[in-house]
Amino acid sequence: MTRAKLLAMITEKWPVKVLSLAAALIISVFYRMNTLETRFFTVPLIIISSETLIPTGSFTGSVRISLRGEADGIQPILEEDIEAFIDLGRYTNEGIYRVPVQIRKKGSALGVEPLEITVLPIEIPLHLEQRVTRNVPVFPVLSGIVADGYELTNQTLIPGSVIAEGPRSVLENHLEFITDTIILDRRYDDFSIMINIINNNPLISIHGNRMQEFRGSISRIAREEQMAVLNTPRIPVTIPQALMPVDIISAADISAEEHDDEESEPIEPLQDEQ
């Protein structure tokens, strides 16, 4: 068979042949789609942070993953081998962004074909602000009363402050940290304990150790103070007559007035001599 005859046979009724091939491909695709299985699971959302910017609000911490493929291919895939992440490194200015969620395959997910991976949500809205750090004071929280006859005379928290990091607006309004509650009940001597710092804001992180040392000094006070009061000399106090209230009259004054009234005689007025 010559080359010309072969070419003529191939091109003969070529529209019909092209349509037949396309139909076969479509049928094949639909068949494979009908035989593919779908698997769902949830994975944590990883944040690749920026050196200069940080989110100012809360956002979803996980996303839903959908795997579509042949059963023998997708079932052995471990959930930890599909990573979902957002990359903040490309943003340089403060503002509100819709950051796309990206997928990374590893381990048992590598080399699996066919494999279709979808994620929901596909974007995460974030408000990004400048990342700042500053020194924030820490204050102890005390509860209870020391033993009877004693008092807490001194308290020290070491080091008394921490370096905190977070979004600019959030950290500007965060003025202090407090510790877990320190119980004073029935204590009667000096003590030292390690106490945890409470940080309830997920947008703020504390650098270094989150433990502080609390030192309390307790002294006995009851007997010494009572003896000092009992041994205080009693000094009589005389109130000058001029300073006495006008409506206060002593018994001696009343008696003297009555005696004068009894002994005194009426005095006749003097008459002019004629």
pLDDT in tens, 52-63: 999 998 888 999
Pairing of strands 37-48, 82-87: parallel
Q: Would you tell me how many other CB atoms lie within 10 Å of the CB of residue 56?
A: 18
3-state secondary structure of 160: coil
Asked whether the domain spanning 131-225 has the same topology as the one spanning 33-121, the reply is yes
CA torsion, ordered 239, 244, 248, 252, to nearest 10 deg: 50
Q: Cα–Cα distance between 192 and 209 in angstroms, integer?
A: 17
CA-closest candidate to residue 165, choices 215, 207, 126: 207
Going by pLDDT thresholds of 50, 70 and 90, the confidence category of residue 18 is: low
Going by pLDDT thresholds of 50, 70 and 90, the confidence category of residue 227 is: low
* Residue 201 confidence (pLDDT) above 80: yes
pTM, to two decimals? 0.59
What residue spans define the domains of the chain? 33-121, 131-225
* Residue 225 confidence (pLDDT) above 70: no
Q: What are phi and psi of 258, to 5 degrees?
A: -65, -40
Q: What is the mean pLDDT of residues 224-238?
A: 51
Render 169-219 in DSSP notation, one character per residue: HHHHT---EEEEEEE-TT--S-EEEEEEEE---TT-EE-S--EEEEEEEEE
- Amino acid code (one letter) for 219: S
Q: Cα–Cα distance between 93 and 168 in angstroms, integer?
A: 13
Q: What is the pLDDT of residues 84-142, one digit of tens each?
A: 999 999 999 999 999 999 999 999 999 888 899 999 999 999 999 999 999 999 999 99
Q: What is the pLDDT of residues 152-170, one digit of tens each?
A: 999 999 999 999 999 999 9
Which residue has 């990883």 as its token pair?
Answer: 46
Level-2 CATH architecture, domain 33-121: Beta Complex (2.170)
* Residue 143 confidence (pLDDT) above 70: yes
Cβ atoms of 137 and 161 within 8 Å: the answer is yes
Q: Cα–Cα distance between 70 and 253 in angstroms, integer?
A: 120
Task: Assign a CATH topology to domain 131-225.
Answer: RNA Polymerase Alpha Subunit; Chain A, domain 2 (2.170.120)
Going by pLDDT thresholds of 50, 70 and 90, the confidence category of residue 22 is: confident
Q: What are phi and psi of 135, to 5 degrees?
A: -85, 125
